[in-house]
Amino acid sequence: MSANLFCFSRLPFRTKAKIRLWLGVGIAMVGLCVALLSFRLGEWPEPSFMTGFYVGTGGGLLGSGIVTAVRMGIYLRDAERARKAELEEMDERNRFIQMRSAQAAIWVLVGAVYLAIVVTSLSPALFLATVTLIWVLIGALILLLASYCICRYLY
């Protein structure tokens, strides 16, 4: 995740690698904190589910943060690998494919949430889930629109 941050920036690759290394360390620490939060879930009605959520996402963040930090450390020490990574990142065709893929993925996600709303609304017992998903979809669409406007302004 943080390995692709600033990929459109004109900063030197070495600077980007340093920023991403520290971001990786930060994300790993956040992941560790989130995983440790699972020990404070006694008051939740479904502690086992939330424990799994916190441990799973915290572990994922921890792992991805460590991998990012290690990769960036390797790039800072090995100029040849850094050059290859920079080429992969700055290659115009790769960027074009990434942008098109991200665009398609966003619309697939929005469609999937809408489908989930339609499915959960068929059962009265899932009313709360339906309302939650509707608010999630509305929030996601607002964020999508805001991100789009900000990116249009920046780029």
Judged by the rule CB under 8 A, the positions of this chain that interact with another protein are: 87-88, 90-94
3-state secondary structure of 5: coil
3-state secondary structure of 44: coil
In the complex, minimum distance from the CB of residue 62 to another protein, in angstroms, rounded to a whole number: 31
Of the pair 40, 84, the CB lying nearest another protein is at: 84
Is the separation of the CB atoms in 17 and 82 below 8 Å? yes
In the complex, minimum distance from the CB of residue 88 to another protein, in angstroms, rounded to a whole number: 6
In the complex, minimum distance from the CB of residue 92 to another protein, in angstroms, rounded to a whole number: 5
Of the pair 40, 83, the CB lying nearest another protein is at: 83
Identify which of 79, 89, 74, 91 has the alpha carbon closest to the alpha carbon of residue 21.
74
Of the pair 77, 93, the CB lying nearest another protein is at: 93
In the complex, minimum distance from the CB of residue 1 to another protein, in angstroms, rounded to a whole number: 22
Of the pair 90, 118, the CB lying nearest another protein is at: 90
Q: Calculate the alpha carbon distances from 140 to 54, 117, 134, 153 in Å.
A: 22, 14, 10, 20
Identify which of 101, 98, 105, 35 has the alpha carbon closest to the alpha carbon of residue 66.
35
Of the pair 78, 88, the CB lying nearest another protein is at: 88
In the complex, minimum distance from the CB of residue 87 to another protein, in angstroms, rounded to a whole number: 6
Helix/strand/coil percentages in the chain, nearest 5: 85, 0, 15
